[in-house]
Amino acid sequence: MTREVTVRAPGKLNLQLSVGPRRDDGYHPLATVFQAVDLYETVTATPRADDRFTLEMTMLPTVKAAPGAVPLDETNLAMRAARAVAARYGITDGVDLRVVKGVPVAGGMAGGSADAAATLLACAEAWNVGATRDELDELAAGLGSDVPFALHGHTAVGLGRGDELSPAMTHGEFHWVFATQGHGLSTPAVYAEFDRQVEAGERTAKDPHLSNAIMSALMAGDAHALGASLQNDLQGPALALAPHLKRTLDLAHEAEALGAMVSGSGPTVAALGRSRQHALAIAAHLSAVGESDAVFTVSGPAPGAVVLN
Ligand code: C5P
């Protein structure tokens, strides 16, 4: 029995992103702490009687993306996820995918990875393939480093390429402000700038390691301690490619954010508030003075991919 299935999966930020030297396969070893936030991608999978795969995408108002910013062909991550499920379980029928984007495009918040995670689960349910969680994890890791986390959500430590996950203990809710930029940064370009800085001797790349300060701040639910220990090794490279982001970071500090940093490979800037109210105040300051494209508040941790119908 097949049926139409809708799944939503969250965007994320990295509370810590410790990056080691480039490996021979081109990837970088990471020690990262992901937190899912309540900003979602929603994917509806409708099985077809023929063998066609189609993709339709709409953007929510917070997602301002240039036309053509997201490819709708076979290279699209949602499309690749649907193909991966079909190939793994020998499905010969096609599927219609409808994606509603709530996570900014190319913002370092893993919106594309959330599409892939939501699509994996939606197609597995729609085609009723009886996939186990481990099987979905394996398919997810094959699609991208951040896809397994979008399936799991909440707060997790990521090792390896970022795809070897273990849950992190957290207490309470954290209130974030996200400031997005009209022009995205490409993740490979930011990693390439990281490599350039290492080769030029402008920075060193040591074996990545987890920050105890972040883990204990999360466990204690201590926003002040968390804000003081946020860390992102890709911030320097992202700022080198997009120097204007420094102004947004300064504005967040002016508004007394507990911490502010570039999120993942950027260019989104994330700032931590003391409370939901304070996050709104920081957001108001960034909107009034800054050059950000969109500013909004979100809370984390949020759940991973869930079936909505
Ligand atoms: O795994 P994913 O396809 O999301 O990675 C996109 C790009 O980001 C890779 O091609 C690589 O350039 C870079 N990357 C990396 N090290 C990681 C994760 C991503 O260099 N751990």
Q: Taking the C-alpha atoms of 109, 110, 112 and 114 in order, what is their torsion angle to the nearest 10 degrees? A: -110
pLDDT of residue 293: 84
- pLDDT band per the 50, 70, 90 thresholds, residue 8: very high
pLDDT of residue 65: 77
Global pTM?
A: 0.94
User: For 200-233, what is each residue's pLDDT tens digit?
Assistant: 999 999 999 999 999 999 999 999 999 999 999 9
Q: What's the gap between Cα 277 and its chain centre?
A: 24
CA of 140 to the centre of ligand 1 (A): 14
Nearest CA to ligand 1 atom 7: 188
146 is catalytic: yes
Q: Which of 101, 115, 137, 146 is catalytic?
A: 146
CA of 229 to the centre of ligand 1 (A): 24
User: For 24-64, what is each residue's pLDDT tens digit?
Assistant: 999 999 999 999 999 999 999 999 999 999 999 999 987 87
Give, in degrees to the nearest 5, the angle at Cα 283 between 282 and 289. 90
Q: Report which of 178, 263, 167, 271 is spatially closest to residue 219, judged by C-alpha positions.
A: 167
- The average confidence (pLDDT) of the chain is 95
| Predicted confidence (pLDDT) at residue 18 exceeds the cutoff of 80 | yes
User: Which tokens go with 8?
Assistant: 């939503």
Q: Looking up tokens 């020690």, which residue turns up?
A: 31
pLDDT of residue 61: 81
Q: Please, what are the domains in the chain?
A: 5-168 (3.30.230.10), 174-300 (3.30.70.890)
Pairing relation of β-strands 269-273 and 259-262? antiparallel
Q: Looking up tokens 């290279």, which residue turns up?
A: 75
Residue 159 phi/psi, 5-degree rounding, is: -115, -175
Nearest CA to ligand 1 atom 13: 188
- Count CB neighbours of 92 within 10 A: 7
CA of 32 to the centre of ligand 1 (A): 13
User: For 280-294, what is each residue's pLDDT tens digit?
Assistant: 999 999 999 877 888
Q: Report which of 306, 307, 304, 305 is spatially closest to residue 34, judged by C-alpha positions.
A: 304
Q: On the CB side of 69, how many CA atoms lie within 13 Å of its CA?
A: 20
User: For 123-182, what is each residue's pLDDT tens digit?
Assistant: 999 999 999 999 999 999 999 999 999 999 999 999 999 999 999 999 999 999 999 987
Residue 108 Cβ inside 6 Å of ligand 1? The answer reads no
User: Which tokens go with 70?
Assistant: 């997201």
Distance of CA 268 to CAs 106, 252, 295, Å? 9, 13, 10
Question: Which one-letter amino acid corresponds to residue 215?
Answer: M
